[in-house]
Amino acid sequence: MSDDILLPPNGDAPRLARSYVAEQAVGIAPGLVEDAELLVSELVTNALRHGRPEILLSVHPDPPGIAVAVGDRGDADAVAPVAADPERPRVGGRGLMIVNAIAARWGVSRNYPPPGKTVWFQLTG
């Protein structure tokens, strides 16, 4: 089980999140670690664009799977993040579509701790 870490509210955050996931993913298959790195990068990028600092990252390896959560102090009363419709042309909005396609489960909790939200995913081996 990992400790939670705070990520800086800048362009380094996705890279640091990927590195932390890789560090914590002991006993997880390499392909699953790569998927987790991709998905955490998408969620942290969303937190940077749509949330408010601080960004809290939690990584919980549970071989053969892994669970990851990204929290921010974004408006907890705002519309919950949803995956984009792949049939609708648009710029951006594909991060949660990628999470939806790869993760075994994912969701949104309004509990950062308050105020805020946490977007999480689980990958299974």
**Is the model's pLDDT at 12 over the cut of 70?**
yes
Question: What is the helix, strand, coil percentage profile of the chain, to 5?
Answer: 35, 25, 40
Q: How confident is the model at residue 13 (pLDDT cuts 50, 70, 90)?
A: very high
The residues pairing with 60 across neighbouring beta strands, listed in sequence order, are 67
| 17-75 per-position pLDDT tens digit | 999 999 999 999 999 999 999 999 999 999 999 888 889 999 999 999 999 999 998 76
How far apart CA 39 and CA 34 sit, in angstroms, is: 9
- CA–CA distance, 120 with 100 (Å, rounded to integer): 11
Domains in the chain: ranges and CATH: 5-123 (3.30.565.10)
**CA 74 → CA 13, 17, 65, 87, distances in Å?**
16, 18, 28, 28
Question: Taking 60 as the threshold, does the pLDDT of residue 84 lie above it?
Answer: no
Distances (CA, A) of 62 to 11, 39, 81: 29, 17, 26
Place of tokens 């969701």: 107
pLDDT band at 82 (very low <50, low <70, confident <90, very high): low
pLDDT digits (tens, 9 = 90+) for 89-123: 555 568 899 999 999 999 998 876 677 889 999 99
Strand partners, 121: 68, 106
